Structures are given as C-alpha cells and as structure tokens.
C-alpha cells in the first residue's frame, strides 16, 4: 500500500507524459527529464496531455507502485506551469497532493509548514 507522509518528497512533472508508458519508461523520464533517481523514494506525479488522468510512481524499497487515476468527467484544472525552461518538476507537500488527486487546486491550500523551529517566548 502507498502511504504518503509529510516527510516524502513529491515532484509533479510539468510536461504531460505519454500514458501508454509503464513503470520502466516513466522511471526513465524521472532519470532523464526530471534529473531524479526513481529509486530515491520520491513520489513522481505525471498527467496526460488532455489533463483527464494522473499517474503516480513511487519506489517503496521493494518495488515500484504505479497508480493511475482517470476522472469520470472533467479534467485536472490546476497544473504547475514551467516559467523557467530548466525546471522540469515542481515540488508539492503531502496535503497538496491529496488536494490535487481530488481534482482541486493545491496552490490554494493553507497549512502550517512541515517543520518550523520551536523557540521559547520570553
């Protein structure tokens, strides 16, 4: 089972992926296009060209998980855009991924930072 925790690094690919591709081809996209190691435990999120489906690829230490979600109607309206040509992915927090997978806008979520220093007030 895939368990998304706040400590996990989640990368959303900016460019659409060919959804005929399987695990090996998407892992290759992670290496070549995103410049990331697919065995690192990062969660990689891809969308198709029509923005009606997403695929999530993650390595759990034993093997790869590949999850596919296709919306029954509509599309994923929010997707990060690349303002810099050298950037191929955008990082999301775990709670933002949950919103994205529900076809929502993760940019509009407000949550406390994942970590913040605790200092006593005097």
CA 49 to chain centre: 16
Q: Would you state the pLDDT for residue 5?
A: 86
Give the mean pLDDT of the chain: 89
CA angle 23, 44, 83 (to 5 degrees): 125
3-class secondary-structure state, position 104: coil
Distance CA 96, CA 105 (A): 8
Q: Is 80 or 43 the better-scoring residue by pLDDT?
A: 43
Half-sphere exposure of 3 (CA within 13 A, CB side): 4
Separation between Cα atoms, residue 101 and residue 99, nearest integer Å: 5
Q: Is the pLDDT of residue 3 over 90?
A: no
More confident residue, 66 or 1: 66
Residue, of 25 and 110, whose pLDDT is higher: 25
The pair phi, psi for residue 27, each rounded to 5°, is: -65, -35
Per-residue pLDDT of 47-64, as tens digits, reads 999 999 999 999 999 999
């Amino acid at each position: 089972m895939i368990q998304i925790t706040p400590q996990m690094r989640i990368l959303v690919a900016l460019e659409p992926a060919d959804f005929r591709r399987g695990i090996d081809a998407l892992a290759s996209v992670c290496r070549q296009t995103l410049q990331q190691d697919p065995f690192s435990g990062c969660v990689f999120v891809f969308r198709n060209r029509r923005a009606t489906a997403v695929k999530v690829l993650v390595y759990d230490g034993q093997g790869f998980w590949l999850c596919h979600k296709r919306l029954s109607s509509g599309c994923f309206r929010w997707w990060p855009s690349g303002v810099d040509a050298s950037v191929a992915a955008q990082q999301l927090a775990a709670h933002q991924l949950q919103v994205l997978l529900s076809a929502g806008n993760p940019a509009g979520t407000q949550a406390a930072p994942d970590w913040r220093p605790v200092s006593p007030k005097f």
